[in-house]
């Protein structure tokens, strides 16, 4: 299968679904990553947005090697992502580029604005992937992918419907999160807890809930005719 993860910022994918991607990869599936923003406002140390974007994209590419993933950067502004004809075209093109069987993305009810808009865009575009008349840089696809929303930081207002046991990949997940060196420093200015540790606490909580050591939780997208196939999760 082709598996596509669509994140709002470099680090979202590693924090919320990297264990699941590692399981897909171990089973021989192909991994694609798309980033709606390059997190270009995410530093008080690096002087310009262009340099922050370049730093964070480089970090994302290092993380992507963990799953042998192909990466597509859409490069909209950090904290400035909106639902517009331009963002719709770019996200639609990214989904078609990956020709996915499964899509993982931020939940639209996340209070982080870029997370919410990313999840909303992906969900809203699900019914337009096969249509010739929808603006896109990539031809329509014939698959009807299953879409799953990943967790929210600290597990706030997120009740998983499905859990993926990532116990065998927990160490690798922590090391992939730590490839986002600049973000770890930036988050360290706001939060008491270490960036990677906070994500692993959440994975441990989802493991506790599901009877495993470490897990990642998901909620399926459901609309008539396009209910996510939960059997496609690893
Ligand atoms: Zn984020």
Helix (H) or strand (E) holding 36: strand 30-37
Distance from Cα 179 to the centre of ligand 1, integer Å: 15
Q: What is the pLDDT of residue 189?
A: 80
Are 64 and 33 within 8 A, CB to CB? Answer: yes
Structural domain includes residue 123: yes
Q: Is the pLDDT of residue 18 over 90?
A: yes
d(CA 103, CA 123): 10
Domain-embedded: residue 100: yes
Percentage of residues in the chain having pLDDT higher than 70: 100
The pLDDT assigned to 204 comes to 98
Query: Residue 230 — very low, low, confident or very high, per pLDDT cuts 50/70/90?
Result: very high
Domain membership flag for residue 167 = yes
Looking up residue 54, the CATH number of its domain turns out to be 3.40.50.10320
pLDDT band at 194 (very low <50, low <70, confident <90, very high): confident
Cα–Cα separations (whole angstroms), residue 114 to 9, 117, 120 = 8, 5, 10
Nearest-angstrom CA–CA distance, 114 and 179: 21
pTM: 0.97
31 or 192, greater pLDDT: 31
pLDDT of residue 149: 98
Q: Rounded to the nearest whole angstrom, what is the distance from the C-alpha of residue 15 to the centroid of ligand 1?
A: 9
Q: Is 228 a member of any domain?
A: no
For the four alpha carbons of 122, 124, 125 and 130, in that order, the dihedral sign comes to positive
Cα-to-centroid distance, 133 and ligand 1 (Å): 32
Cα-to-centroid distance, 36 and ligand 1 (Å): 10
Q: What is the average per-residue pLDDT within 9-27?
A: 98
The answer as to whether 234 is a domain residue is: no
Q: pLDDT per residue over 136-149, tens digit each? A: 999 999 999 999 99
pLDDT value of position 184: 81
Out of 109-113, 116-120, 221-225, pick the least confident: 221-225
Residue 233 covered by a domain: no
28 CA distance to ligand 1 middle (Å): 27
Number of domains in the chain: 1
C-alpha to C-alpha distance for 176 and 94, rounded to whole angstroms: 23
The reply to whether 230 falls in a domain is no
- 78 CA distance to ligand 1 middle (Å): 9
- Distance from Cα 86 to the centre of ligand 1, integer Å: 21
User: 12 C-alpha vs ligand 1 centroid, how far in Å?
Assistant: 5
Show the domain range for 58: 2-155+163-223
Q: Tell me if 99 is assigned to some domain.
A: yes
* C-alpha 152 – ligand 1 centre gap (Å): 9
pLDDT band (50, 70, 90) for residue 153: very high
207 CA distance to ligand 1 centroid (A)? 22
Taking the centre of ligand 1 as the mean of its atom positions, its distance from the CA of residue 132, in whole angstroms, is 32
């Amino acid at each position: 299968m082709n598996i596509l993860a669509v994140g709002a910022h470099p680090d979202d994918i590693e924090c919320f679904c990297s264990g699941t991607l590692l399981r897909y990869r171990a089973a021989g599936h192909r991994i694609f990553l798309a980033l709606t923003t390059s997190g270009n406002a995410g530093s008080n140390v690096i002087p310009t947005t262009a340099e922050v974007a370049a730093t964070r994209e480089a970090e994302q590419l290092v993380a992507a090697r963990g799953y042998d993933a192909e990466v597509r950067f859409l490069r909209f502004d950090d904290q400035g992502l909106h639902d517009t004809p331009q963002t719709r075209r770019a996200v639609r093109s990214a989904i078609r580029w990956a020709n996915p069987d499964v899509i993982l993305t931020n939940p639209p009810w996340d209070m982080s604005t870029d997370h919410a808009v990313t999840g909303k865009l992906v969900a809203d575009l699900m019914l337009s992937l096969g249509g010739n008349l929808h603006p896109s840089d990539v031809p329509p696809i014939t698959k009807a992918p299953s879409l799953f929303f990943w967790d929210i930081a600290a597990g706030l207002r997120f009740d998983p419907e499905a859990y993926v046991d990532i116990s065998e990949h927990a160490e690798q997940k922590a090391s992939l999160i730590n490839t986002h060196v600049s973000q770890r420093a930036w988050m360290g200015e706001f939060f008491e807890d270490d960036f990677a540790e906070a994500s692993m606490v959440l994975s441990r909580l989802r493991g506790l809930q599901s009877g495993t050591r470490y897990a990642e939780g998901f909620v399926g997208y459901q609309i008539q005719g396009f209910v996510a196939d939960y059997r496609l999760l690893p």
